[in-house]
Amino acid sequence: MNNRYAKVPLPTTGVPKEHKIYGWRIKTVRNPILSSAEIDTATDKLQIPMPEMIFGNNYVEIAYLGPTGQESPYWTLRFDTLSALDCVDKTGTQNKLVQVAHSKAWQKSSEKTAQECPDEIHGILKPYDWTYTSDYRGDVSSLKPEHALQEVTVETHGQSVFDEHALPFDKLKKPEPIEFYDEVVLYEDELGDNGIVSLSVKVRVMPLRLLLLARLFLRVDGVLFRVRDTRVYIDFEYQDSGAPRVIREYTEHEDTYDSVKRKIPRAARDYSMYLRDENWVAAHTPVTKFIREYSHLKEGKEKEQQKEKS
């Protein structure tokens, strides 16, 4: 297949990239794909085969060190490859409908192959989710229970209970200088040349805010599309509570392949261009689940008050 893994930004070094701003530390690490020995270790640990392209030592970490910049962070959000893969269904039961649908679609379009090499067809029905679909939203750790992210919305069709906690797209659309940016790919697989699944994390830091997007994109040719987005917004400006504001939104999109394909403009000469465009697919695929979480890290105000008193 031409242009194989063309979207994967190949790492040139395992040295972390780091940026500090307003008591926050943003760190990204991009390493080469795992060695054979590392893949064996990861397979034994997670009990599922690893994706074709697995960057198991890659991660993105956002930590709040407080106004004084202490060594141990008050709050940390981390995205790493093996934690994401640990969220993949290891029994294959949660996405059984997808497996059956894919098996039938593949058999119908490849009858000759099925007759000559039936094992290649039936081998797709494995006892785990072979699409590597993960609902991973990152791992949060905090020194205080009150710093944990609290869910503030119902889990249905993006309907928010508290709109004041929504991502401020009006601010994000304003042109601002980018002080730090990186994209980290966690894993990717072509599903036996029957589509693509990829999970990557992008983070950009502006003077007064940060936005992170972790996206799982899945296309099973002739069957379905899935997009699972985790957006994390951090406002460096102190609000009324005197603490940085953190919002995390998780959105699941899903639809059949044919349904998405029908939305391609009729005048399009190359429909495959649209089906490879993650942003276009996400915008034209219904939302099936939505979760919003919110937190104020009030440690910052407490520390500043202590500093003023001293």
Kindly report the average pLDDT of the chain as a whole number: 80
Q: Is 192 left (phi over 0), alpha (psi -120 to 50) or beta?
A: left
DSSP element (H, E) containing 307: helix 299-309
Residue 264 tokens, joined: 């391609």
Residues 217 and 95 in one domain: no
Pairing mode, strands 150-151 and 209-220: unpaired
Residues 95 and 209 in one domain: no
Residue 8 is assigned to a structural domain of this protein: no
The domain in which residue 251 lies consists of 17-90+128-309
Residue 154 is assigned to a structural domain of this protein: yes
Tabulate helix, strand, coil % of the chain (nearest 5).
25, 30, 45
* Whole-model pTM over 0.85: no
Residue 9 is assigned to a structural domain of this protein: no
192 pLDDT band (50/70/90 cuts)? confident
Residue 41 is assigned to a structural domain of this protein: yes
Residues 111 and 144 in one domain: no
Residue finishing a domain among 77, 112, 127: 127
Residues 191 and 260 in one domain: yes
Residue 7 is assigned to a structural domain of this protein: no
Residues 277 and 182 in one domain: yes
Residues 79 and 226 in one domain: yes
Residues 153 and 133 in one domain: yes
Q: What is the CA radius of gyration of the chain?
A: 21
d(Cα 81, Cα 48) in Å, to the nearest integer?
14
pLDDT of residue 210: 94
Residues 98 and 223 in one domain: no
Residue finishing a domain among 79, 108, 127: 127
Residues 200 and 257 in one domain: yes
Least-confidence region, from 2-6, 68-72, 118-122, 162-166 = 118-122
d(Cα 198, Cα 213) in Å, to the nearest integer?
13
Domain count, the chain: 2
Residues 59 and 102 in one domain: no
Residue 295 is assigned to a structural domain of this protein: yes
Residues 272 and 256 in one domain: yes
Residue 80 tokens, joined: 């790493």
pLDDT in tens, 195-252: 999 999 999 999 989 999 999 999 999 999 999 999 999 988 764 455 678 899 999 9
Residues 145 and 82 in one domain: yes
Q: 82 φ, ψ to 5°?
A: -65, -35
